[in-house]
Amino acid sequence: MHNLASIIQSILKELFGSSPSLDLLYTFLGYLVPCLTVVTVIGMIGGILTLMERKVAGAIQNRLGPNRVGPYGSLQWIADAIKLHLKEDIIPALADKNLFRLAPYIVFVGTVLTGLVIPFGGSFIVVDLNVGLIFLIVAVSLVVIGLLMSGWASNNKWALLGGIRSAAQIVSYEIPSALALLTVILITGSFSMQKIVAEQGLFPWQWFIFYNPFTFIAFFIFGIASLAELNRVPFDFPEAESELVSGYNVEYSSMRFGFFFAAEFGNIFVTASIATAVFLGGGNIGLDPYESGIGYQLLMVLVFFAKAIPLCFVSLWVRWTLPRLRIDQMMSMCWKYLIPISFVCLTCTALWMLVFNGNGIFWRMSG
């Protein structure tokens, strides 16, 4: 088994010896440590992304952005999180209290679950499931249940409208984004994230985005569809502050709101990571992720983040540049354009595999 959990287990075994009951404990600890790390990392990245968003927005809008807490405002996100924890948690009197309490956690869990199978480079992956990509798609869709739940439970018409919008939107855009990812599955023949990364290489022409013209299109389809799944401008209908005031989270306060917020920004990073791993070669620097030394492993992580963070930036950049579409225009864009195009990409990639015997446009043609 090649993942962080098994590595931790083997280290523990070497240190404390082995017995059936101890093995169970090692397994538990082996998964607990990476899981907690991933929750923390995604939560923190979500927080840092809020700061980054405000800084980017400031730069785009000719202003400074946060600059009071810490040097250049760099600790603003921590202050925000503390503030959110200290606020009063208000639950509307006529809300469905249990659902209302549950909804933010479901949204947040949906986000951090995806963290389990993201290959952060090298051996830094919690568990390399053989259905990794499917698991990702499923976990991301969990968010929609939480959003719908919060919209319904708030007992507020605006929130309900937001929740229903998000359900319609996310369910629709799942299809093109999943189809876009499937084009890559045709090439690798595996859903394992590590395998997908390992099939690519250090150089751009070894990445799946440049495998053939259709994967190139699929990358952009995935980009657009994931913007929609993230509820970001130009597809931010569930929130649409000028129409629905704030959408599904209008009745939330305190850390429950914070969970929605962290999940939203965590999701930005998660989708950027998926795009990086699947299309842009992930943390692959041409070395074996498990056999290399710790220095190379960290380099792989660095490479991974160096690709993922610019993608996050693109999401922020789009948000502060474009206006919002109308909901029917967004739906027609999905069903009339993105889904047919992604089907074409899928079919043509399959044909490409058949005709060119599985060779990409650049990298296997020579060798």
Partner 1 sequence: MAELVSQEMFLNMGPHHPSTHGVLRLIVQTDGEIMRRAVPDVGYLHRGIEKIAERVTYQGFMPYTDRIDYVSAFSGNLGYALTVERLAGIEVPEKAEYLRVIAAELARMGSHFIGFGAVLLDLGAVTPFVHALRERETYNDLMEMLCGARLTHNYARIGGVSHDLPEGFKEKTLKFIDHLEYEFIDEFNNLISFNSILVKRFANVGVVSAEKAIEYTLVGPNLRGSGVQFDLRRDDPYSIYDRFDFEIPVGKGKFGTVGDCYDRYWIRIQEIRESCRIIRQALEQMPEKGEIRTKIPKVFKPPKGEIYVRTECPRGEMGFYLISDGGKSPYRLKIRTGSFSAMSILEELSQGVMVADLVAIIGSFDIVAPEIDR
> Tokens for 40?
């923390």
Question: With respect to partner 1, which residue has the nearer C-beta, 7 or 60?
Answer: 60
| Binding mask of the shown chain, residues 24 to 53, with x at each position contacting partner 1 by CB under 8 A | ------------------------------
Question: With respect to partner 1, which residue has the nearer C-beta, 19 or 332?
Answer: 332
Diameter of the chain by CA atoms? Answer: 69
CA distance 118 to 179: 19
| Chosen residue from 78, 142, 327, 344 binding partner 1 by CB under 8 A | 327
Within positions 244 to 283, which residues make up the interface with partner 1, using CB under 8 A?
244-245
Q: Please provide the DSSP assignment of 103-131 as one string.
A: HHHHHHHHHHHHGGG---STT--S---TT
Binding segment (CB under 8 A) for partner 1, from list 17-25, 121-129, 160-168, 358-366:
160-168
CA distance 107 to 116: 16
User: C-beta of 221: minimal distance to partner 1 in Å?
Assistant: 18
Distances (CA, A) of 183 to 109, 119, 180, 296, 365: 28, 19, 6, 30, 19
Cis peptide before 234 (omega within 30 of 0): yes
Contact 260, 107 (CB under 8 A): yes
User: C-beta of 327: minimal distance to partner 1 in Å?
Assistant: 6
> Tokens for 335?
């069903």
Contact 115, 83 (CB under 8 A): no
DSSP 338: I
| Chosen residue from 7, 29, 44, 57 binding partner 1 by CB under 8 A | 57
| Chosen residue from 21, 62, 98, 366 binding partner 1 by CB under 8 A | 62
Residue 161 touching partner 1 (CB under 8 A): yes
CA distance 92 to 158: 14
Binding segment (CB under 8 A) for partner 1, from list 194-202, 255-263, 265-273, 324-332:
324-332
Question: Residue with structure tokens 């939330």?
Answer: 252
Residue 147 touching partner 1 (CB under 8 A): no
Residue 336 touching partner 1 (CB under 8 A): no
Contact 214, 183 (CB under 8 A): yes
Question: With respect to partner 1, which residue has the nearer C-beta, 291 or 328?
Answer: 328
Question: With respect to partner 1, which residue has the nearer C-beta, 220 or 362?
Answer: 220
User: C-beta of 119: minimal distance to partner 1 in Å?
Assistant: 34
Size of the site for partner 1 (CB under 8 A): 29
Question: With respect to partner 1, which residue has the nearer C-beta, 322 or 355?
Answer: 322
SS3 content of the chain, % helix, strand, coil (to 5): 70, 0, 30
Residue 313 touching partner 1 (CB under 8 A): no
Which among 310, 305, 350 is positioned nearest to 119, based on CA atoms? 305
| Chosen residue from 240, 250, 275, 334 binding partner 1 by CB under 8 A | 240
Question: Residue with structure tokens 């800084």?
Answer: 55
Binding segment (CB under 8 A) for partner 1, from list 121-129, 191-199, 315-323, 355-363:
315-323
Site of interaction with partner 1 (CB under 8 A) = 57, 60-63, 157-158, 161, 164-165, 233-234, 236, 240-245, 320-329
